[in-house]
Amino acid sequence: MPVHRELTVVIVLLALGGTVWSGYVAYRRHASRRLTQLGVVTVVALALQALTGIVLAAGGGRPQDPLHFLYGPATIVALPAAMAAARGREARAAAVILGAGWLVTLALGLRAAGSGGLT
């Protein structure tokens, strides 16, 4: 399904941008509501990615590597968990936590892309 493949590229690019932006926000020690909004947009993209993956699997589609069924769901959990952990924290601490969540999302997204056959 091309949508699943296209969303992978979008998610990886969003995660890369979020990682860099979080580092900048942490360095500058200022809060960024837009960074949180980018997180919400990315979580929506991750949900759509999961939905298209479920449709693919239900239709008999299988990834190149069965570990894709581990990397894919882990990718979906990383950023929302970081967003929840960052909520209510001081700006720099929140940015560092979000940065870690973005970085894990980026790494898992790349690994999921590789294990799914998008290489």
Q: What pLDDT is stored for residue 40 in this prediction? A: 95
Q: What pLDDT is stored for residue 119 in this prediction? A: 44
Q: What pLDDT is stored for residue 1 in this prediction? A: 61
pLDDT in tens, the chain (119 residues): 689 989 999 999 999 999 999 999 999 888 788 988 999 999 999 999 999 999 998 999 888 888 999 998 999 999 999 999 999 999 899 999 999 999 999 999 999 988 887 54
Cβ atoms within 10 A of the Cβ of 79, count? Answer: 28
Q: DSSP label at 118?
A: -
Q: Where are the domains of the chain?
A: 2-116
Per the CB < 8 A criterion, the answer to whether 98 and 83 are in contact is: yes
pTM of the model: 0.89
